[in-house]
Amino acid sequence: MKTMTLEQETNPWESQAARFDLAAKKLNLDEGMWKVLRYPNRELIVHIPVAMDNGKLEVFTGFRVQHSIARGPSKGGIRYSPDVTLDEVRALASWMTWKCAVVNIPFGGAKGGVICDPHKMSLGELERMTRRYTAELIEFIGPEKDVPAPDINTNEQIMAWMMDTYSMHMRQTVTAVVTGKPINIGGSRGRREATGRGIMIVCDEAIRKLGRTRESTRVIVQGFGNVGSNAALLMAQAGYVVTGIVEVAGSLYNRNGINVQAVSEYRMRHGTLSGFPEAESADPADLLVTECDILIPAATENQITSRNADRIQCKILAEGANGPTTAAADEILADKKVFIIPDILCNAGGVTTSYFEWVQDRQGYFWKESVVNEQLEEIMKSAFQDVVRYAETHEVNNRIAAYMLAIDRVAYTIRQRGIYA
C-alpha cells in the first residue's frame, strides 16, 4: 500500500478508497465496474437558511450522498456536527453500500450531514433546521428512493421531524421515509439497542472461533453513546468482563470488571463518567492501548492509526464505529495477528434492524422485540460466517474479505441489471 501522510491516512474517503482498491484488485474487477462502484451516484450540497432564536438568520451547509441504488433504495444516517465534510459523507455512504451487501439486505448506501453544533442550538432551532434540510431533499428521499436514519447527534425526535416534514409535502403520512423513529409513529422495537446487540453477536462468534468463553473475556469499550453503551450493557449482562470505558470527558478502568448498569445510571444522573466511585479514572489515550481481549472502538473515525496501532494490545478488534481504523493501521494490526471484525460487518446490526423497521412500516404490521432480535441474530451470524469463510478461501484478512464479498454482490447485481443508456 502506498505511503500516506497522516492527513491522507485519516481522510475517510482516502481510507475507504484504499480498502476498495485492494479488494477490487484481488477480485480482478474489470476497469469499467471499478469506476462504477468507486464513485457515488449522486452528491447533493444544500445551504439551509434558519431563523435563530435571537432573530438573526443563519445559513447551514448540508450534504446527502447516495452511493448506490443497485440493490434497492439507498440507506444511511444523518449526522449533525461542526466537523462534517463532504469527503466524510462520501466515505460513509460507500461504507453503507458495502455494509448492506455484507449482511445481504436489499439497500444501497447513502449518508447525510449538516455542519452545525447541535449542543449550542435550542430545540426550536434544531427543528427548523431539520425541517428545512428535509424539504431541500424532498425530491431525492422516500421509501423507494433513499431512507435516512439517525447518526451522530441525531435521534428519534429528529427522525420524527423528518418524517412529518416529508409527510406534509406528500399530503399523507409516510412512516417508511426514515428509520430510527419513536415506536408509536412507526419505529421498531429493538432498534435502539440493535447496533450494540449486533456487536455482541459477532463478538460471540469470534470468541467461539478462537476457543474462548464470555466469562474469561475482558472488554474495553471506547465511546459510551448509543452504540458503545448498549454494547457494554448487553455484553456485561451476558457475562463478558468490561474492564474499561473510554470517553474524552472521563474514562474508567477496573481490571476486575465495571458494573456497566451502575455506570449508565451514574452518567444519566451526572452527565459524565467522571467521579464514578467503583472504578479508577484513566487517560483515554492510555486506556485505548491497555491490554484486553476485545477492544470495541464505538466513537468516531480514525481512532487507531499508524501512530498508536503498534501499542494496541487486544486479541479481537470489534469496530463499533464507522472507520475507526485507518488503512495504514490495518497493516500493523495484521502483523500483530489481531482478529479484526470490520466495521461493515461489526456495526451492521443498526442498518439490519432499520431494514426490519422499513419492512414493518410498509406492511403496517409490527413485530415483537423477540422476533426482531431473533431475525437480527440470524443475519449477523450468517454474515460473520460468510466473511470468515471468504477470508480463509481467498487468504486475505477479514476486512478485505468483507469488502470483496460486498463488492462482488453489488457488481453481480449491476451486471444482471445492465447499464441503461
Give the model confidence (pLDDT) of 89-106 as tens digits. Answer: 999 999 999 999 999 999
Q: Answer whether residue 1 shows pLDDT above 80.
A: no
Options 99, 111, 181, 315, the catalytic residue: 111
Query: What confidence score (pLDDT) does residue 320 get?
Result: 94
pLDDT band at 328 (very low <50, low <70, confident <90, very high): confident
Q: How far is CA 17 from CA 123, 201, 346, 351, in A?
A: 37, 28, 19, 22
Q: Answer whether residue 108 shows pLDDT above 60.
A: yes
- Ordered domains of the chain (ranges, CATH): 40-174 (3.40.50.10860), 194-346 (3.40.50.720)
Q: Residues 321-326: what's their mean pLDDT?
A: 89
Its pTM stands at 0.92
419 contact partners, CB below 8 Å, separation of at least 6: 36
Written as one letter, the residue type at 167 is S
Query: What confidence score (pLDDT) does residue 389 get?
Result: 95
Q: Answer whether residue 250 shows pLDDT above 90.
A: no
Say if CB 250 and CB 281 are below 8 A apart. yes
Q: How far is CA 370 from CA 56, 98, 146, 356, 375, in A?
A: 49, 27, 28, 13, 9
Q: Is 111 a catalytic residue?
A: yes
The half-sphere exposure of 162 on its side-chain side, counting CA atoms within 13 A, is 31
Query: What confidence score (pLDDT) does residue 4 get?
Result: 61
**What is the Cα–Cα distance from 246 to 265, expressed in whole angstroms?**
17
Query: What confidence score (pLDDT) does residue 323 get?
Result: 87
Query: What confidence score (pLDDT) does residue 7 get?
Result: 66
**What is the Cα–Cα distance from 50 to 124, expressed in whole angstroms?**
10
Out of 10-14, 196-200, 207-211, 320-324, least confident range: 10-14
Nearest Cα neighbor of 228 from 319, 325, 329, 160 is 319
Q: How far is CA 73 from CA 67, 177, 355, 393, in A?
A: 10, 11, 11, 31
What's the whole-number average pLDDT of the chain? 93
DSSP 138-169: TTT-BTTTEEEEE-TT--HHHHHHHHHHHHHH
pLDDT band at 12 (very low <50, low <70, confident <90, very high): confident
Report the alpha-carbon angle 165-177-80, nearest 5: 70
Q: Which three cell numbers stand for residue 359?
A: 419492512
Residue 304 DSSP symbol: B
**What is the Cα–Cα distance from 85 to 180, expressed in whole angstroms?**
23
Report the alpha-carbon angle 246-247-248, nearest 5: 130
Q: Residues 27-38: what's their mean pLDDT?
A: 93
Q: Residues 318-324: what's their mean pLDDT?
A: 92
Q: Answer whether residue 255 shows pLDDT above 70.
A: yes
Calculate what percentage of the chain has a pLDDT beyond 90: 81
**What is the Cα–Cα distance from 254 to 238, expressed in whole angstroms?**
18
Task: State the CB neighbour count (10 A cutoff) for residue 39.
Answer: 13
pLDDT band at 5 (very low <50, low <70, confident <90, very high): low
Calculate what percentage of the chain has a pLDDT beyond 70: 98
Tell me the pLDDT tens digit for each residue of 141-194. 999 999 999 998 999 999 999 999 999 999 999 999 999 999 999 999 999 899
Written as one letter, the residue type at 96 is M
Query: What confidence score (pLDDT) does residue 76 get?
Result: 96
Phi, psi of 246 (to 5 degrees): -100, 120
Query: What confidence score (pLDDT) does residue 8 get?
Result: 66
**What is the Cα–Cα distance from 32 to 362, expressed in whole angstroms?**
36
Q: Residues 286-300: what's their mean pLDDT?
A: 92
Query: What confidence score (pLDDT) does residue 299 get?
Result: 86
Query: What confidence score (pLDDT) does residue 16 get?
Result: 83
**What is the Cα–Cα distance from 109 to 115, expressed in whole angstroms?**
21
